Structure 1
Amino acid sequence: MKVGIIGAGGMGRVYARSFRQISGVKVYAVNDIDENRMKQLAEEYNVPVQYKSWEDLVEDPEIDAVAVCTPPAFHKEMTVKALKNGKHVICEKPPALNAAEAKEMADEAEKQHRVLMFGFQWRFLPQAEYVWNLARKGFFGEIYRARARYLRMQGAPAGWFRLKKYAGGGALMDIGVHVIDLAWWLTGRRKPVKALGASYDLLGNFEVDDTFIGYVLFDNGLSMIVEASWLQNWPNEIEIKLYGTKAGAEVTQLEICRKIEGITGAYVSTKPILEKRDTQLAKIKHFVDITKTGPTEHTPTGEDAVTVMKIIDALYKSSSEGTPVKID
């Protein structure tokens, strides 16, 4: 498989490094608006072709798959054109500026019979897979609420991340999208029906939110609290908690809590120890595999991206209007 990478920044380099570790895959071409940055990536990872135009890259018949590693404002156009040119695509998160764009991308992938996957590497955490397998077996009973938190004390990225026209939003779009996707996937990909959100930009003075707090209700009664922050006057808080009728879990540090049957008020808490994994590499390996076999239940698909973006759209709309918002 020959791969072309659009965007030679931080994530472009992560993708180049990961693709190089997979047998049978070659990073064949790269594009970036910064020619020096493009040249550096090409030299470091032995990429033979450098394109000044991303359009030329996606039209190259030698390329089988494209990785889109640019600001979200460009995801839809680049992805759709790559798909139309017969390429499989892995696109970085957040999927797009909104759900409408994400749907265009998903629809084009279906039309062209090509794989479209998004860069939600948290699904490939060993502890996430462990909890997912338990949930599929009914270990937790009915999971009726979840808490998804990604709160940084000092972690506001610079540059285009702070500009709404390129990023689409702030902390919610940048890091909240990870925990939303993971909690939603772990709880069974239920249909969201209502959202309530509050956006803050009190510490960063950016064009976008430095903190976002939200509540999402799903069609089976599941409720999810979402918290995302680039800046806060408290140490980092990163956790995904699931609460079921039989047991509960904290995913990021992997702790399982369950009631002991037959003993009133007795619980047992366990912390399974799992082998560590390079989640970026696992994500890229999964993408390569599914270009041959097709998506699996593990895959962050185009359809998944549409739902995740519907949640984010509704949270932002609720914050703007100051009222709960229904999700179609």
Structure 2
Amino acid sequence: MIETPPTKKELNLGFLGVGWIGRNRMEAILNNTSATAGAIVEPDAENAEEAKKAAKNAIFKDSSKELISDPNLDGIVIATPSAMHAQQSIEALNSGKAVFCQKPLGRNSEEVRKVVAASKKADKFLAVDLSYRYTKAFKAIFDLIKNGEIGDIYAVDLVFHNAYGPDKEWFYDIKRSGGGCVMDLGIHLVDMALWTLNFPKIKEVRSHLFHKGQKMDSFEEHVEDFASVAMTSEKDQVINLECSWHVSAGKDAVIEAKFYGTRGGASFKNVNGSFYDFTAEKYHGTQTETLVTPPDEWSGRAGVVWVENLLQNNKFDPATAEELIQTAEVIDRIYGR
């Protein structure tokens, strides 16, 4: 008797929020995986109309609770304002669905721990859209360092200046955002450094946070729009971070992650102020070797990887969960909480 090969499972996903980022992630998933969009929640009529072009068969639901409780969905992609992330992720996991959430997963480490606990209890895979991990340029730097090609890393310089800043007012309310440019931009930098260094414990954090050039002592009225942070790992690696909104950067954005090792250096950086185009370079003394240049369609790749993982093993991943907690704890320490 000839056995027929098992059919590949098709994931049916719900999309909670399809503004620009949510729609971009949805389109990347639908165009690059076998997953389908079963249901969508989006309060903005214009965003919903745009989403229908890519997800013609999706059912539009009236509320997040209605979407999350849908028994026909295998996973939920969350791209709502930050204040909603933790609670919506917990509700989705409690309903037996995997979750892919925009960053930050929570506004503080306490919220992140609660989401991780829900993922563990449900035994469902949880991932966060830490998208720069999945650029070809940063992957080249990561592999270079992991292979020992520039020796032991002893210093890291991280920069993310956004000359515009967010255009949604909730970003500037700490109760809804959890923080300013550190929570919005710095979280990517912290993740990139910790991930590359194999998540060492951070023994010291010194931060200077500013609002319109004035050093901040409280977050009751404003969130920070400029941050300068110095961290030291348990291995005495020095990690310097600088990020901002609305800074006079001379270009749209400055995005860099530079690693200095005992046998050389390496950098991930944007090209000509672009938010999307990146290069990877390896340094030895005065010599520069270019490893990766644009183009690279990376912006939705993290969601594609999440779907690929779901198809293989939709289970709680303790290693990923611990990384999410460690990054959130470092962010908390930057804010002095």
Q: TM-score, normalised by structure 2?
A: 0.85
The residue aligned with 1:52 is: 62
Over the matched positions of the two proteins, sequence identity in percent amounts to 22
Residue 9 to residue 275, structure 1, CA distance change in 2 (3 Å): closer
Write the distance in 2 (CA, Å) between the matches of 1:279 and 1:240: 17
Q: Does 1:256 align with 2:282?
A: yes
Write the distance in 1 (CA, Å) between the matches of 2:26 and 2:292: 30
| 1:215 alignment partner, one of 215, 225, 230 | 230
Bigger Cα displacement from structure 2, 75-84 vs 175-184 = 175-184
What SS does the aligned partner of 1:139 have? Answer: coil
* Post-superposition offset of 1:256: 0.8
Question: Which ranges of structure 2 fall in alignment gaps of 5 or more residues?
Answer: 1-10, 270-278
The residue aligned with 1:286 is: 305
| 1:7 alignment partner, one of 17, 22, 25 | 17
| 1:226 alignment partner, one of 218, 223, 241 | 241
1:27 partner amino acid: A
* Post-superposition offset of 1:164: 1.4
Whether the 8 Å CA contact 2:136–2:292 is kept in 1: the answer is: no
Residue 82 to residue 287, structure 1, CA distance change in 2 (3 Å): same
Whether the 8 Å CA contact 2:33–2:304 is kept in 1: the answer is: no
Q: Does 1:20 align with 2:39?
A: no
* Post-superposition offset of 1:39: 4.7
| 1:246 alignment partner, one of 260, 263, 276 | 263
Whether the 8 Å CA contact 2:161–2:243 is kept in 1: the answer is: yes
Give runs of aligned pairs for residues 140-289 of structure 1, distance below 5 A. Answer: 140-202=150-212, 207-235=222-250, 236-252=253-269, 253-259=279-285, 267-274=286-293, 276-289=295-308
Residue 34 to residue 273, structure 1, CA distance change in 2 (3 Å): closer
Q: Does 1:313 align with 2:313?
A: no
The residue aligned with 2:274 is: none
What SS does the aligned partner of 1:114 have? Answer: coil
Bigger Cα displacement from structure 2, 116-125 vs 101-110 = 101-110
What SS does the aligned partner of 2:76 have? Answer: strand
* Post-superposition offset of 1:212: 1.1
Write the distance in 2 (CA, Å) between the matches of 1:276 and 1:23: 21
Question: Which ranges of structure 1 fall in alignment gaps of 5 or more residues?
Answer: 260-266, 319-328
2:235 partner amino acid: N
The one-character-per-residue Cα deviations of 1:33-67 (angstroms, maximum 9, x if unpaired) are 44554354235531421111101111111101101
- How many residues are matched? 310
What SS does the aligned partner of 2:336 have? Answer: helix
Write the distance in 1 (CA, Å) between the matches of 2:57 and 2:179: 33
The residue aligned with 1:61 is: 71
Bigger Cα displacement from structure 2, 192-201 vs 38-47 = 38-47
The one-character-per-residue Cα deviations of 1:199-237 (angstroms, maximum 9, x if unpaired) are 111169972111111111111111211111012223242
Write the distance in 2 (CA, Å) between the matches of 1:237 and 1:274: 16
Q: TM-score, normalised by structure 1?
A: 0.87
Write the distance in 2 (CA, Å) between the matches of 1:43 and 1:133: 38
1:254 partner amino acid: A
Write the distance in 1 (CA, Å) between the matches of 2:263 and 2:113: 36
